[in-house]
Amino acid sequence: MSDAATLDVFDRRESEVRGYIRAFPTVFDRASGSTLVDADGNEYLDFFAGAGVLNYGHNNPVFTRALVEYLERDGIIHGLDMATSAKRAFIEAFEQYVLAPRGLDHKLQFTGPTGANAVEAALKVARQATGRSNVIAFTNAFHGLSLGALAATGNSTYRDAAGVALGDITRLPYDGYLGPDVDTLDLLEKMLDDPGSGLDLPAAVIVEAVQGEGGINVASVPWLARLREITAARGILLILDEIQAGVGRTGTFFAFEDSGIVPDIITVSKSISGSGLPMSLVLLRPDVDVWKPGAHTGTFRGNNLAFVSARVALETYWADSAFTDGVAAKSALLRAELDRIAADHPDLGLAPRGRGLMYGIACDGDRTLAGRISAEAFRRGLIIETSGAFDEVLKFLPALTITGDELTRGLAIVRESLDAVLAG
C-alpha cells in the first residue's frame, strides 16, 4: 500500500467503533456507477452500494448535474422545516410517482437524516396515536442503533452496547424462524387474544418485509397479509421499515407491495435521496399524524440538496416500468447463478434467498465461510459484505443500475473466491 492509501491516520485517530474499514482496508478516492477506485488507482466492483444507500450507483451523472446546477444558482442548502422550492418539488414528485400510483394517502414527515431517526419518530407517533407503549418487533430485526430503535433491533452485539435496559418491546418470531412449516403468526394471534399471555395490547408492530442486516430473510406474501389483518382487527398500528429494502431494492418501490397491504406508518431512508446524501422520511396515514408542531425536530431535517437529487431520481426512474423491468431481469440472472453455485457445492448446504437485487447465500454449515469469501473477494477486486446473527450470510446488494456484464463479472469473482477459500 502506497503512502496515498495508508490507513495509519485512521488507526491512530479514529475511534475503535469503526467497522467497514476493517473489512475493506484501503483508502477509497473516486467512484462511478458500480466502480470504486482507491488512492492507488485500484478498481473495485461494488456489490455493497453503501449498505443500500446507492441504489442508483455512485455519482449518478443525472443527479450530479442537477446538484451542480442547484448550487451554482445559490439554491437553499439548509432549511430546517421551512418551505423551500426544492422541498416542494420533491413532495410533488413523491405524490406523482410514489403515492398516487399505489393509492396511498400518507402524510410525509421529514425527520433527521438517519434511518434510525425515522424509526424513532415512527415509534413515538405510534405510541402517541394509540396511548399505548408496548411495540412488537421480530427476531433478527434491525431498525437502528439509537435507543428506541435499538430496543426493536434483535442482534445482541448491537444491544449489548446500549448500556441501559431496552424496554417496551415484545420480541416474537419472524416468518420462517421456526422452520418452513410453522406459521409464526399463530403465536402472535394466540397471545393477543389470550388474557393470560402477559402480552399487553401493543401500540404497533414494526417489521421489515425483507430483513437485510438480519440475514436476507424474506417475509412471504401470505404472512405479511395475515399480519396486516391481525393488526387492523385489533387497532394495532403496522409500521413497515423500508429503509434498506425500499426504493426499488426488491423490485418494487416498496418491499411490501406484492402483499397488497397498506401500512399505517412507513419509514424510508438510505436510497431515497438517490445521490447518497442523508435524508429520511416517515409516511403516516393522516389519522395517525397526531404530532403537535415541533414535537419531533432536528437541525438537519431539511437537506435541500437531498430533496433535489431525490426528485430527479423519481422523475428519471419511476415514471414508467423500464427501471423495474431491468431490475427484474438482473434479479433473474443473479438468482440463477446463486442457485448454480449452491448446486455445485451440495456438501456446503448453501441456501440462496432474497428478492430483486437484495440476495444472500446462507452458509449455515460453516458460519465463517461467508466472511472468508468476502475477504477473498476484496483481494480480487469485489466489495461484498456479510449479514446475519453470525455473519453467516454472504450479502448481495449491487446498485440497481449495475449492468448485466458487471453483475456477471462480480458473480464470477464470488465463485472464484469460494473456490479459493475451499482450496485453503
CATH code of the domain in which 261 resides: 3.40.640.10
Q: Are residues 337 and 234 in the same domain?
A: no
Total domain count for the chain? 2
4 has pLDDT over 80: no
DSSP strand pairing (217-218 vs 210-211): antiparallel
Whether residues 303 and 169 fall in one domain: yes
DSSP string, 347-358: GGT-EEEEETTE
Instruction: Specify which residues 240 forms β-bridges with.
Output: 207, 266
Backbone angles phi, psi at 103, to 5 degrees: 65, 30
The DSSP secondary structure of 102-167, one letter per residue, reads: GT---EEEE--SSHHHHHHHHHHHHHHHHS---EEEETT----SSHHHHHH---HHHHTTS-S---
Same domain, 83 and 52: no
Same domain flag for 219 and 312: yes
Q: Give a yes or no: residue 66 inside a domain.
A: no
Quick one: 121 and 217 in the same domain?
Answer: yes
Of the candidates 287, 317, 347, which is a domain's last residue?
317
In a domain, 70, yes or no: no
If DSSP codes are grouped into helix, strand and coil, which group holds residue 334? helix
Q: What is the CATH number of the domain that holds 46?
A: 3.90.1150.10
Same domain, 83 and 206: yes
The string of pLDDT tens digits covering residues 76-132 is 999 999 999 999 999 999 999 999 999 999 999 999 999 999 999 999 999 999 999
The per-residue pLDDT for 40 is 95
Mean pLDDT of 65-75: 98
For residues 230-239, average pLDDT: 98
Q: Is residue 135 part of a domain?
A: yes
For the chain, what is the mean pLDDT?
Answer: 96
The residue-averaged pLDDT of 334-348 equals 97
Boundaries of domain holding 369: 8-60+321-423
pLDDT grade for 55, boundaries at 50, 70 and 90: very high
Question: What is the reported pLDDT for 372?
Answer: 98
Residue 65 forms part of a structural domain: no
Both 34 and 109 in one domain: the answer is no
The pLDDT of residue 210 is: 98
149 lies in some domain: yes
Tell me whether residue 145 is in a domain. Answer: yes
Tell me the three state secondary structure of residue 64: helix
Of 301, 317, 333, the position where a domain reaches its end is 317
Is the pLDDT confidence value at 1 over 80?
A: no
Confidence band of 302 (pLDDT split at 50, 70, 90): confident
Same domain, 117 and 252: yes
Residue 400: CB atoms within 10 A of its CB come to 25
Closest to 276 in 3D by CA, of 299, 322, 251, 308: 308
Average pLDDT rounded to a whole number, residues 265-285: 97
Question: What is the average pLDDT across 288-313?
Answer: 96
Residues 363 and 266 in one domain: no
Query: What confidence tens digit (pLDDT) does each residue in 353-372 have?
Result: 999 999 999 999 999 999 99
Q: Which of 256, 284, 317 is the last residue of a domain?
A: 317
Chain-centroid distance of CA 39 in Å reads 28
User: 122 lies in a domain?
Assistant: yes
pLDDT value of residue 3: 66
In a domain, 68, yes or no: no
282 and 194 in a common domain: yes
Please choose, from the candidates 238, 240, 275, the residue with its C-alpha nearest in 3D space to the C-alpha of residue 255: 240
Q: What is the pLDDT of residue 203?
A: 98
Q: Do 176 and 275 fall into the same domain? A: yes
268 and 208 together in one domain: yes
Tens digits of residue pLDDT in 23-49: 999 999 999 999 999 999 999 999 999
